[in-house]
Amino acid sequence: MLAVDVKNIKKTFISKQDKVEAVKDVSFQVKQGEIFGLLGPNGAGKSTTILMLTTLLSITDGSASVLGIDVSTKDKEVREKIGVALQDTGIDNLLTGRELFFTTCRLWGYSKKNSEKKTIELLELVGLMEAADRRVKTYSGGMKRRLDLGLSLVHSPEVLFLDEPTTGLDPGSRRVLWDEIKRLRDNGVTIILTTQYLEEADELADRIAIIDEGLVVAEGTSDQLKAGIGGDVITFSFENTDYLENAKNILKNTVQEKNELRITVEDGASKIPGYLKDLSSNGVEVSSVSASKPTLDDVFLQVTGYRLEGSEDIKKEEEKSKR
């Protein structure tokens, strides 16, 4: 049985002034025990998709099921099976971590004794035992995210939905959370996470769907997606726009980004001299050229026509933290 089966779901928000198609057509399937990443920029429709799958938003059209249970008609049954940690973490800052776990355990129906036991287990699991009796308002961003993750695990869900779980976290906290997510997957939990970080999708997700403007524009494993754009990526840099514009006419099927042109070809290194000769004979000066294996960044650029903002930031943060 599939963990999640999404078939052509759509979400349209209609107000008096406006009609917004937040999700135009999204389909994907998630197998049990895998991490599935929904990658896309802000406003792509990732969070709306998650809200529909977690029964918090109605589906305008199409259908979706979690562990074979229809999301639209069987809210309660779906909620029993899933854990949810949304982007805007709903955490009561005035309570302590221990009180929050205990209250959540009790709400899931555990007895007082079992709630106390489970609270300790979960506090240890997410590494918050030492801060257990401090009010949540004193927690750091990373601690709050771990608490949020822990709260979504109270009832040992089979499927876990995480909406941008590491946004705004420092590299250290992000790593801790990544390890925790992987550990959950290794214990058999299916995880559907949204992210706008390419590295996060690459590091965590067994399979990735790239969402742009409410549509799934590519789907597969990271390797499949990279292989899908074919061969190597050759990047040409130009000092002025005249050279760049001329080069665009000479080199076919290029993708422009600022003062660079990228072209994806088989065996890139061997083709560079030929390209340089063509450009030079047309009076185009190239300031630098390089060939590399495609990254997820290249895949994103190829399928959407633009680069995902924020992925550079996470790289810089990682490098800074290593120094």
- Check binding of 151 to another protein (CB under 8 A): yes
Min dist. Cβ of residue 103 to another protein (A): 5
- Check binding of 74 to another protein (CB under 8 A): no
Question: Which is nearer to another protein, 74 or 315 (by Cβ)?
Answer: 74
Phi and psi at residue 115, in whole multiples of 5°? Answer: -65, -40
Which one of residues 74, 106, 248, 271 is an interface residue with another protein (CB under 8 A)?
106
Burial class of residue 105, CB neighbours in 10 A (0-12, 13-18, 19+): buried
- Check binding of 89 to another protein (CB under 8 A): yes
Among the residue ranges 50-58, 207-215, 254-262, 288-296, the one whose residues contact another protein (CB under 8 A): 50-58
Long-range contacts (CB closer than 8 Å, 24 or more residues apart) made by 280-287 = 282/246, 282/250, 283/246, 284/238, 284/243, 284/246, 284/247, 284/250, 285/238, 285/239, 285/243, 286/236, 286/237, 286/238, 286/243, 286/247, 287/237, 287/238, 287/239
Question: Which is nearer to another protein, 88 or 267 (by Cβ)?
Answer: 88
Q: Is 209 helix (H, G, I), strand (E, B) or coil?
A: strand
- Check binding of 120 to another protein (CB under 8 A): no
Min dist. Cβ of residue 5 to another protein (A): 20
Min dist. Cβ of residue 35 to another protein (A): 20
Which one of residues 94, 258, 266, 323 is an interface residue with another protein (CB under 8 A)?
94
Burial 55-73 (b: 16+ CB within 10 A, else e): bebebeebebbbbebebee
Min dist. Cβ of residue 60 to another protein (A): 10
| Size of interface with another protein, in residues (CB under 8 A) | 32
- Check binding of 191 to another protein (CB under 8 A): no
Min dist. Cβ of residue 96 to another protein (A): 9
Among the residue ranges 33-41, 91-99, 220-228, 292-300, the one whose residues contact another protein (CB under 8 A): 91-99
Min dist. Cβ of residue 228 to another protein (A): 35
Burial class of residue 107, CB neighbours in 10 A (0-12, 13-18, 19+): exposed
The CA distances from residue 198 to 66, 111, 173, in Å, are 26, 42, 17
Q: d(Cα 108, Cα 30) in Å, to the nearest integer?
A: 26
Q: Is 51 helix (H, G, I), strand (E, B) or coil?
A: helix
Among the residue ranges 36-44, 100-108, 205-213, 222-230, the one whose residues contact another protein (CB under 8 A): 100-108
Which one of residues 16, 17, 88, 186 is an interface residue with another protein (CB under 8 A)?
88
Please answer whether residues 100 and 136 qualify as being in contact, where contact means their C-beta atoms are separated by less than 8 angstroms.
yes
**Chain residues in the site for another protein (CB under 8 A):** 13, 54-58, 76, 79-80, 82, 84, 86, 88-95, 99, 103-104, 106-111, 114, 135, 151
